[in-house]
């Protein structure tokens, strides 16, 4: 609004100056022309009755630039010309009246008029010139005005406001100090009050804008405010990061996407908010475009929400639901199948015991899956009570190795335990689950006649529990997903190994809950190394 008023006032001032200058010059020209014409006619009338001889002609032509006298015959052919340098300067018409008038240019800066009268055999010509310098000065004035405007536009609004504000107050103070009329004091006081109120309002708006800028700068969501032309007026850090843009961007070319262009056009035409979901620079973004318009101004606001984690979680939930359905359905199918064979009498007497064992195994597996799911759910919601007690790491590792000794022996796996007694404060049940799940995986995915080493390291105020195996290893692509629920690296072995795919997911959840971190080092077909980092400064 301020720019519009300023531009409008400038145009009006320039127009008034131009009109005033043109009108004043036209009036001046007409006055000068009339005065010149009257003077010329009076001069010609005087000379008409003079006795003109050759000496008079020569004297007048030499000493007066405004007068030229030539002797002519009846056909107005020159008999003698004492001022030949000027003989072609006049352009006369064919008027045969007593007086005649013609236009001529003496130079670029003057516009001339010539007046002639014929007296028998003598032609008398009087010339006059009206200066054109005013028009040249006007052109120079216009050029200087345009140049000064370009220079003044480079002065910032803050400086301009400063000088104008200073002028208001200094002028007002000077007037109040020197005024002799007490009746004007109320008027000046009212004016001063309005100035103060305006100044306070401007300061309030600046403070509010600064506060808004500060708030939006720290927002997790991206925020952009555009003016009516689509230029950026406000851009916070999140929006810069999401879209990789700066203040030079425009709303029309902000995002190179047909969907975005259509949404922007729809929001602009229908004057209502529009929502779109786009993947930009690796972010899953939900963008809201809101047109903000009043009777005098139009603008746009854009809010950008990062849905990357939400999308990832949603994908994991879908996969989890599909996997849970499959994992629960498989043992139930086996149980129902074998139970039906026994119930209908189709199973032979010798097979009944074997079928009953399978039903029992599948039932236990089903209970394992349900128990693991409930355990993960409790860890997600942090429903475990933090019953931290002193736990000896050596005892936990020794008990785990003993528990899985029979399974390790079946694959002829050599187990080495280098752990020494060391006590930490932690949850005994959760720490046992953490160690046993990693150790069980080291057996399941190890090679026959392979080996497992359990070691430790104490440094940097951390205890590192290290479990290494010589198993099938994990590829780089798979190593990024091994902690996902129901994810199994070697799916062909899943059924044979009776794996639920929840073991490492439980490990990750427990580690996060206890404040530990886990690092995995693995090479395909060579083996895997799990490193559990336990901070010793944790005061449990």
Read out DSSP for 52-121?
--HHHHHHHHHH-TTEEEEEE-TT--EEE-S-GGGTTS-------SSSEEEEEEEETTEEEEEEEEEETT
Q: Tell me the angle at which helices 428-444 and 393-403 cross, rounded to the nearest 10 degrees.
A: 40
Position 468 pLDDT exceeds 80: yes
pLDDT tens digits along 85-137: 333 333 333 333 444 555 544 444 444 555 555 555 455 555 555 555 555 66
Nearest to 514 by CA among 411, 399, 396, 418: 396
**What is the rounded average pLDDT of the residues 266-292?**
90
pLDDT of res. 396: 94
Distance of CA 6 to the CA centre of its chain: 28
Where residue 383 falls among pLDDT bands split at 50, 70, 90? low
**What is the rounded average pLDDT of the residues 392-408?**
93
CA distance 254 to 278: 13
CA distance 272 to 255: 20
> Could you give the angle at the alpha carbon of 289 between the alpha carbons of 286 and 295, nearest 5°?
165
Nearest to 301 by CA among 286, 288, 283, 318: 288
Nearest to 234 by CA among 306, 155, 307, 292: 292
The percentage of residues in the chain with a pLDDT greater than 90, rounded to a whole number, is 19
Q: Which of 14-18, 183-187, 253-257, 273-277 has the lowest mean pLDDT?
A: 183-187
SS3 content of the chain, % helix, strand, coil (to 5): 55, 25, 25
pLDDT tens digits along 69-83: 555 555 555 555 434
Query: Is the distance from CB of 486 to CB of 465 less than 8 angstroms?
Result: no
How many other C-beta atoms lie within 10 A of the C-beta of residue 255? 20
pLDDT of res. 330: 78
pLDDT tens digits along 25-52: 677 767 766 766 666 666 655 555 555 5
**What is the rounded average pLDDT of the residues 212-236?**
84
CA distance 54 to 71: 9
Distance of CA 284 to the CA centre of its chain: 17
For 345-387, list the strands marked E by DSSP.
none
CA distance 21 to 285: 61
Instruction: Between 174 and 504, name the one with better pLDDT.
Output: 504
Q: What sign results for the dihedral spanned by CA atoms 48, 50, 53, 55?
A: negative
Give the residues across from 129 on adjacent strands.
112
Name the 3-class secondary structure at 249.
Answer: coil
Phi and psi torsions of 276, nearest 5° = -140, 150
CA distance 258 to 270: 18
pLDDT of res. 528: 93
* Dihedral angle, C-alpha 405, 406, 410, 412, nearest 10 °: 20
Where residue 488 falls among pLDDT bands split at 50, 70, 90? low
pLDDT of res. 75: 58
**What is the rounded average pLDDT of the residues 221-240?**
88
The percentage of residues in the chain with a pLDDT greater than 70, rounded to a whole number, is 60
The mean predicted confidence, pLDDT, of the chain is 74
Q: Which of 115-119, 363-367, 473-477 has the lowest mean pLDDT?
A: 115-119
Distance of CA 494 to the CA centre of its chain: 50
Where residue 402 falls among pLDDT bands split at 50, 70, 90? very high
Position 463 pLDDT exceeds 70: yes
- Ordered strands of the 122-131 beta sheet: 78-80, 67-72, 122-131, 110-119, 100-107
Q: Are strands 451-459 and 414-417 parallel, antiparallel or unpaired?
A: parallel
């Amino acid at each position: 609004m301020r720019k519009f008023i300023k531009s409008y006032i400038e145009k009006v001032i320039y127009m008034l100056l131009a009109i005033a200058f043109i009108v004043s010059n036209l009036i001046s020209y007409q006055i000068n022309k009339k005065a010149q014409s009257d003077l010329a006619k009076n001069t010609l009338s005087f000379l008409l009755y003079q006795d003109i001889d050759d000496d008079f002609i020569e004297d007048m032509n030499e000493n007066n630039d405004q007068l030229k006298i030539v002797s002519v015959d009846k056909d107005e052919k020159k008999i003698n010309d004492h001022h030949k340098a000027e003989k072609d300067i006049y352009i006369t018409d064919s008027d045969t009246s007593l007086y005649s008038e013609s236009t001529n240019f003496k130079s670029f800066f003057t516009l001339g008029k010539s007046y002639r009268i014929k007296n028998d055999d003598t032609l008398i010509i009087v010339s006059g010139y009206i200066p054109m310098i005013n028009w040249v000065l006007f052109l120079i004035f216009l050029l200087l005005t345009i140049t000064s405007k370009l220079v003044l536009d480079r002065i910032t609004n803050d400086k301009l406001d400063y000088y104008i504000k200073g002028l208001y107050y200094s002028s007002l103070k000077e007037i109040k100090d020197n005024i002799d009329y007490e009746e004007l004091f109320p008027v000046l006081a009212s004016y001063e009050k309005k100035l103060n109120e305006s100044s306070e309002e401007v300061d309030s708006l600046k403070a509010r804008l600064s506060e808004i800028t500060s708030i939006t700068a720290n927002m997790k969501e991206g925020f952009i405010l555009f003016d009516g032309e689509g230029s950026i007026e406000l851009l916070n850090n999140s929006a810069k990061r999401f879209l990789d843009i700066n203040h030079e961007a425009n709303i029309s070319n902000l995002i190179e996407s047909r969907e975005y262009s259509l949404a922007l056009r729809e929001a602009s035409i229908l004057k209502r908010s529009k929502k779109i979901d786009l993947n930009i620079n690796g972010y899953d973004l939900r963008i809201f475009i809101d047109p903000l318009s009043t009777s005098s101004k139009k603008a746009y606001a854009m809010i950008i929400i990062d849905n990357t984690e939400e999308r990832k979680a949603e994908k994991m939930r879908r996969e989890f639901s599909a996997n849970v359905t499959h994992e629960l359905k498989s043992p139930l199918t086996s149980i129902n199948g074998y139970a039906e064979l026994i119930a209908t009498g189709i199973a032979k007497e010798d097979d009944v015991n074997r079928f009953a064992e399978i039903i029992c195994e599948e039932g236990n597996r089903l209970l394992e899956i349900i128990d693991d799911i409930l355990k993960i759910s409790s860890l997600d919601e942090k429903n475990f009570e933090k019953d931290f007690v002193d736990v000896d790491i050596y005892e936990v590792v020794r008990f785990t190795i003993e528990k899985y000794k029979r399974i390790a022996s079946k694959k002829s796996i050599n187990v080495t335990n280098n752990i020494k007694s060391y006590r930490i404060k932690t949850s005994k049940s959760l720490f046992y689950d953490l160690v046993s799940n990693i150790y069980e995986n080291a057996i399941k995915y190890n090679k026959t006649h392979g080996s497992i080493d359990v070691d430790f390291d104490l440094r940097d105020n951390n205890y590192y529990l290290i479990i290494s195996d010589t198993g099938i290893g994990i590829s780089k692509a798979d190593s990024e997903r091994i902690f996902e629920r129901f994810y199994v690296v070697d799916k062909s072995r899943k059924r044979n190994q009776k794996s639920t795919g929840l073991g490492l997911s439980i490990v990750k959840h427990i580690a996060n809950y206890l404040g530990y971190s886990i690092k995995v080092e693995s090479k395909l077909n060579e083996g895997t190394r799990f490193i559990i980092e336990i901070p010793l400064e944790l005061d449990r």
